[in-house]
Amino acid sequence: MAGKILGTATSFIFVFAVMVVLVALFIGPSFKFPFPFPISFTSSPGQKLFKVDELALYNGTDEGLPILLGILGSVFDVTKGKSHYGVGGGYNHFSGRDASRAFVSGNFTGEGLTDSLRGLSNSEVKSVVEWRSFYHKTYTFVGKLVGLYYDDQGNPTKHLKGAEAKAARGAQLLKKQKQEEDKLPSCNSKWSQGEGGEVWCDDGFPRLVQRPLEIALTGKMGKRCACFREDQLGEPGLEVYEGCDYQAKTCHV
């Protein structure tokens, strides 16, 4: 009986040892953490939560790590765009951080590389949200950044909900503005380095007119060139181009 028990135990130990060797052979080389903050890219989207200092490690300076960036708190693996997002690339300033504001401000200095959208217009916030959609379509979503847009449980904050609501409002305003502007045909236009700009109307006369919803969209006064019939030229708010005759159909600008 003792010999049988000993034999069974020996067999168990042998099988266990073989399993350990097989595991080591198959997963051993990959079972290492090159950095104190490993990423599981095989987990379901949204399972990885990053902290700011953790995300900063994936900025392209370590060849052994992927390159990540954040936008509106969503984190993407942009390693396949290494020529752009790696060290020396034109977009490297986005890597290892959430610089949502810089996507529309063009300010790539220290203060400009921030996730805050405070003070941006409806159309600018809409553009940031569209950039996020671009990254979802083009790169791999790997998680969320804990901070302004997601809490430590990965839930969206009031700042993310506010940004998305503002972007939706911008989209509605743009649609409404286009509907209004479609009522008045736009001028034809061209520009060349030698001759400058020119606007003209095939039917009617070119006038500068206030874009109806521009202030709500951008926070600025905007104008466009539209064509008006002769019987409409007395309407308020129409501006003749400087140096252009009142009834000219072509104006240099």
Model confidence at 179, pLDDT cuts 50, 70, 90, reads: confident
Tell me the pLDDT of the chain averaged across its residues: 82
Q: Could you tell me the domains of the chain?
A: 48-175 (3.10.120.10), 184-252 (no CATH)
**pLDDT > 70 in the chain, percent:** 77
pLDDT the model gives residue 47 = 66
pLDDT the model gives residue 41 = 41
Token duo for residue 99: 């610089």
pLDDT the model gives residue 30 = 38
204 CB-near residues (< 8 Å, 6+ apart): 185, 227, 228, 229, 230, 232, 249
**Mean predicted confidence (pLDDT) in 179-183:** 78
pLDDT the model gives residue 195 = 82
pLDDT at residue 118 tops 60: yes
Q: Are 36 and 133 in contact (CB under 8 A)?
A: no
pLDDT the model gives residue 182 = 79
Over residues 143-173, the pLDDT tens digits come to 999 999 999 999 999 999 999 999 998 888 8
**Mean predicted confidence (pLDDT) in 116-137:** 94
Query: CA dihedral in degrees (176, 181, 183, 187; nearest 10)?
Result: -160
Name the residue with higher pLDDT: 175 or 227.
227
